[in-house]
């Protein structure tokens, strides 16, 4: 009897192991109405996941991108831009290198989306289709804040991908990552949605928009700009980054939600630039102590920590200390969730707010503003050269001028992606002059840079009082 029972247990273990292997290999769980261990009826849902059709369709819509770039030795450029070293007659020799990545075909006539960091500053971009045809691509527009770029090739009748809806993605849902890691064309990996609205702080401060879809699909160098698709083969994200201590895949990858991608692409095509909005406030996520203070069982909402005098929230009647609970019916429990929602909107559009103040909930309507504080759509013709600096600049107050014994100055208060950050400038730097012309206001800076091209010398200082020189290239 004992031996029979022991053998039956071994057999059961073998069957269970075989069943588990089948589940892993098939990517799902076979269903059956069966008696549970206790004799109760237990229903298991059918969830065989066949990813082959999604993979076969998607590989023909994902392209390989080769970007030719020239990079100068910025450290020496900055060093020798100091007027004291002009006698060296130093000339920087640009280094030519190639960057590789992926892209996704969005239309039959050759529009392709990729990451901004794949093609930023590229002199030439070559696109190779899955059928090995090569095309030279035109960069239609880029957006550093979302790390997206739109390309165009001269082709017709291309296979292209359909948009999905990233808002409808659920945790645990199967997804495919399709791209060209390590120049291995048409590589497909599978995983699940591990998290949503993830902020990694990798795009810089200021106006950057980060609300990534986190997956465990394997992504490596070269996958950037490739497709994240659902089981139906619809685009749900653009692969952009990995979390790794080595530079290679270590378990987590991150994609830009397709609802942001769709809006960025539309803006570039319709307006020539991406229409970012601002709500005129800073927030802090509500923690356990704050929720306990408010008597809430759930920890939710964003508390307003700063509010602009004439910003969208102030005009809607909100104050510092209020807690924002919902925007257009969607809960806002993290700054990244709010960013993702707002970056699908246009300046001048209204959003319905639900907020909390003094133990009472209330509703309000806010009109979203563009980065300059207006509600109008900004086109290419509205471009200012200072827009590409990527910084919030503030004239020096009288007290600061007296303290440092200067007549003028323009201080970098906030720094995002742009020419200043690329040159190595940090927050707190005060610009004294540009190409040896004094700068005391943004208007001064715009006037100096208006007709400039090539290298521009910036002189200024940090709070420690030491002078530093930088070079930016327009």
CA dist., res. 148 & res. 150, Å (int): 7
Annotated catalytic residue, options 117, 143, 207, 433: 117
- The CA-CA-CA angle for residues 81, 85, 89, to 5°, reads 85
Contact 247, 224 (CB under 8 A): no
Which is catalytic among the residues 207, 211, 224, 433? 224
- Which position has the token pair 């998290």? 195
Sign of the C-alpha dihedral computed for residues 113, 117, 119 and 120 taken in this order: positive
Catalytic residue among 81, 102, 147, 336: 147
Q: Identify whether 117 is a catalytic site residue.
A: yes
Torsion of CA 137, 140, 142, 148, to 10 degrees: -60
In the residue annotation, 57 being an active-site residue is answered as no
Q: How many angstroms separate the CA atoms of 348 and 56, rounded?
A: 42
Q: Tokens for 82? A: 């100091």
Closest CA to 145 of 349, 470, 415, 427: 415
Question: Catalytic residue at 224?
Answer: yes
CA-only gyration radius of the chain, Å: 27
Task: State which H helix or E strand residue 267 sits in.
Answer: helix 258-271
Name the phi and psi angles at 278, rounded to 5. -135, 150
Residues 102 and 112: beta-carbon distance below 8 Å: no
DSSP string, 277-307: -B-SEEEEE--HHHHHHHT-SS---EEEEEE
Active site residues: 117, 147, 224
């Amino acid at each position: 009897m004992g031996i029979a029972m022991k053998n039956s247990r071994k057999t059961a273990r073998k069957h269970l192991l075989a069943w588990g292997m089948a589940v892993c290999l098939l990517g799902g769980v076979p269903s059956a109405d069966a008696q549970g261990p206790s004799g109760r009826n237990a229903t298991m849902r059918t969830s065989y996941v066949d990813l082959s059709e999604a993979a076969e369709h998607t590989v023909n819509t994902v392209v390989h991108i080769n970007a030719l770039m020239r990079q100068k030795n910025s450290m020496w450029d900055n060093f020798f831009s100091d007027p004291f070293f002009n006698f060296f007659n130093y000339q920087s020799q640009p280094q030519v290198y190639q960057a590789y990545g992926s892209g996704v075909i969005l239309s039959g006539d050759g529009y392709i989306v990729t990451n901004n960091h794949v093609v930023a500053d590229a002199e030439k971009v070559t696109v190779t289709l899955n059928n090995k045809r090569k095309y030279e691509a035109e960069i239609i527009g880029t957006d550093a804040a979302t790390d997206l770029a739109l390309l165009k090739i001269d082709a017709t009748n291309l296979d292209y991908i359909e948009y999905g809806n990233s808002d409808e993605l659920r945790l645990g849902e199967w997804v495919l990552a399709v791209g060209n890691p390590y120049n291995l064309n048409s590589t497909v990996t599978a995983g699940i949605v591990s998290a949503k609205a993830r902020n990694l702080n990798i795009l810089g401060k200021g106006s950057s928009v980060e609300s990534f879809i986190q997956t465990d699909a394997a992504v490596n160098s070269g996958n950037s700009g490739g497709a994240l698709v659902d089981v139906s083969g619809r685009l749900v994200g653009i692969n952009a980054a990995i979390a790794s201590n080595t530079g290679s895949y270590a378990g987590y990858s991150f994609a830009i939600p397709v609802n942001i991608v769709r809006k960025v692409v539309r803006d570039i095509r319709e307006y020539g630039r991406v229409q970012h909005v601002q709500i005129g406030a800073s927030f802090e996520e509500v923690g356990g102590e704050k929720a306990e203070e408010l008597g809430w069982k759930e920890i939710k909402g964003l508390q307003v920590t700063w509010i602009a005098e004439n910003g969208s929230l102030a005009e809607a009647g909100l104050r510092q200390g209020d807690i924002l609970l919902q925007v257009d019916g969607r809960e806002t429990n993290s700054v990244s969730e709010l960013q993702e929602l707002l970056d699908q909107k246009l300046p001048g559009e209204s959003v319905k707010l639900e907020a909390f103040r003094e133990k009472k909930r209330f509703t309000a309507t806010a009109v979203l503003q563009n980065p300059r504080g207006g509600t109008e759509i900004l086109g290419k013709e509205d471009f200012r050269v200072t827009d590409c600096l990527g910084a919030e600049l503030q004239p020096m107050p009288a007290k600061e001028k007296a303290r440092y014994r200067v007549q003028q100055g323009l201080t970098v208060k906030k720094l995002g992606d742009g020419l200043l950050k690329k040159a190595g400038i940090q927050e707190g730097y005060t610009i004294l002059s540009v190409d040896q012309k004094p700068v005391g206001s943004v208007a001064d800076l715009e006037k100096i840079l208006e007709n400039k091209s090539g290298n521009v010398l910036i002189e200024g200082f940090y709070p420690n009082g030491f002078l530093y020189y930088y070079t930016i290239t327009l």
